[in-house]
């Protein structure tokens, strides 16, 4: 191990706060002094800013990323009796939103190429007359091949809801994620590449009709500014304070993404020749923004994935497993009838993947310590 121990968490939020402390505090104070706390000018401005970044016509601020998926399904009319194809390599919120809408998740395996993305050919094979929508997940910050996915969706008349929770500003062939499908779903959870100081989310769409329905659904289904509730909605509004704080960060997002990509390049260089590891694969045409830097152990590793993660954490290198249990094997989905072995590629990945520290403000010395420590564990 390196002679001097360092403590490097998998991510740090305090440095970003310190870098922009005066701007954050000024923005928060301005909101508190304004007396406007819900769906105010900062929410409207952030909606426009995210719509512009995703080349969409509309942004609709909601309470969190999970609601952004659920409300998109509701706005599309997806519900009981409908199947929604998605990937099992994601956080539970992806499939939870489908169930919450009354629909049934249909899981398809991932591609065996180190991207951990949905296999679009297997998605097409899973389409039935009950299939009404597909939710691709731009996992870890890399876009799904949206040209192929949109071709599939158009051929089968499927609604597309992009799960962009980990991938704001990721691109496919120069076009930002969130602007390909009928809906783009974003999370502002604090750990995301563009995070709030609490919960928050955003939906993007090109459709004015979808935008108007979403604006109603997020406020109890209200159809005007009074008490006429035409739809069964919910209370899911992005609050003014969180919107103001996220807006402070928006102008810095490009440089933060560039920093993440620089960290990833250094990791790649350090680990590319190690037979004990599989480094992330970046598809041609993808602009990866590295919400996570996720590797996998191979059969040549002297340690299991879990042993390696425990050893790294003990040495001060924050390491996490995203995700140890694929969605089709989660307890809440046992009624769907999936069993171990049904989706072997994702199951194997979930036994082997782990993530290293990744945040824009990580120093070269800190990254060097991560690299040296990981190599020491494996060699």
CATH 3.90.1150.10 residue spans of the chain: 252-378
What's the CATH number for 16-251?
3.40.640.10
- 195, 175, 161, 196: which is closest to 70 by C-alpha? 161
Q: What are the pLDDT digits (tens) for 38-88?
A: 999 999 999 999 999 999 999 999 999 999 999 999 999 999 999 999 999
Does position 284 have pLDDT exceeding 90, yes or no? yes
What's the CATH number for 252-378?
3.90.1150.10
Q: What is the mean pLDDT of the chain?
A: 97
pTM score: 0.97
> What DSSP character marks residue 146?
H
Alpha carbon distance, N-terminus to C-terminus of the chain: 11
Residue 3 — pLDDT band, cuts 50, 70, 90? Answer: confident
Instruction: State the CB neighbour count (10 A cutoff) for residue 112.
Output: 13
In the β-sheet with 277-278, what is the strand arrangement from edge to edge? Answer: 277-278, 293-297, 353-356
Scored b (16 or more CB within 10 A) or e, 43-72 reads beebbebbbebbebebbbbbbbbbbbbbbb
Does position 184 have pLDDT exceeding 80, yes or no? yes
Q: What is the pLDDT of residue 223?
A: 75
Q: Cβ distance 243 to 45 under 8 Å?
A: yes
Q: Cβ distance 212 to 191 under 8 Å?
A: no
Task: Assign 220 to helix, strand or coil.
Answer: coil
CATH 3.40.640.10 residue spans of the chain: 16-251
User: Within 13 A of 308's CA, how many CA atoms are on the CB side?
Assistant: 29
């Amino acid at each position: 191990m390196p002679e001097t121990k360092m403590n490097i968490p998998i991510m740090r939020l305090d440095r970003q706060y310190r870098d922009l402390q005066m701007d954050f505090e000024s923005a928060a104070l301005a909101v508190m002094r304004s007396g406007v706390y819900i769906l105010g000018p900062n929410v409207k401005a952030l909606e426009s800013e995210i719509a512009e970044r995703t080349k969409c016509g509309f942004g609709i601020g909601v309470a969190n990323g999970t609601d952004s998926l659920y409300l998109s399904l509701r706005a599309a009319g997806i519900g009981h009796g409908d199947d929604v194809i998605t990937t099992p390599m994601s956080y539970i919120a992806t499939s939870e939103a489908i169930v919450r809408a009354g629909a049934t998740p249909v899981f398809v395996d991932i591609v065996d190429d180190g991207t951990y993305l949905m296999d679009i050919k297997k998605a097409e094979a899973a389409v039935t007359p009950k299939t009404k929508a597909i939710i691709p997940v731009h996992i870890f910050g890399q876009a799904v091949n949206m040209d192929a996915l949109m071709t599939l969706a158009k051929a089968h008349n499927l609604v597309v809801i992009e799960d962009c929770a980990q991938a704001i500003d990721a691109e496919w062939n120069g076009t930002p994620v969130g602007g390909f499908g009928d809906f783009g779903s974003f999370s502002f959870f604090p750990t995301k590449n563009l995070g709030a100081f609490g919960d928050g989310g955003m939906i993007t769409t090109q459709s004015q009709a979808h935008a108007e329905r979403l604006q109603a659904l997020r406020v109890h289904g209200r159809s005007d500014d009074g008490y006429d509730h035409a739809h069964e909605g919910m209370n899911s509004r992005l609050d003014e304070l969180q919107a103001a704080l996220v807006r402070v960060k928006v102008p810095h997002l490009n440089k933060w993404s560039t920093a993440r990509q620089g960290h990833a390049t250094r990791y790649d260089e350090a680990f590319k020749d190690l037979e004990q590891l599989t480094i992330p694969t970046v598809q041609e045409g993808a602009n990866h923004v590295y919400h996570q830097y996720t590797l996998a152990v191979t059969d040549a590793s002297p340690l299991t994935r879990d042993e390696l993660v425990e050893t790294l954490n003990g040495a001060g290198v924050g390491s996490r497993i995203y995700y140890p249990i694929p969605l089709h094997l989660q307890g809440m989905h046992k009624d769907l009838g999936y069993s171990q072995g049904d989706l072997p590629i994702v199951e194997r990945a979930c036994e082997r993947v782990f993530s290293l520290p990744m945040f824009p403000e990580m120093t070269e010395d800190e990254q060097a310590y991560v690299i040296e420590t990981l190599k020491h564990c494996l060699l």
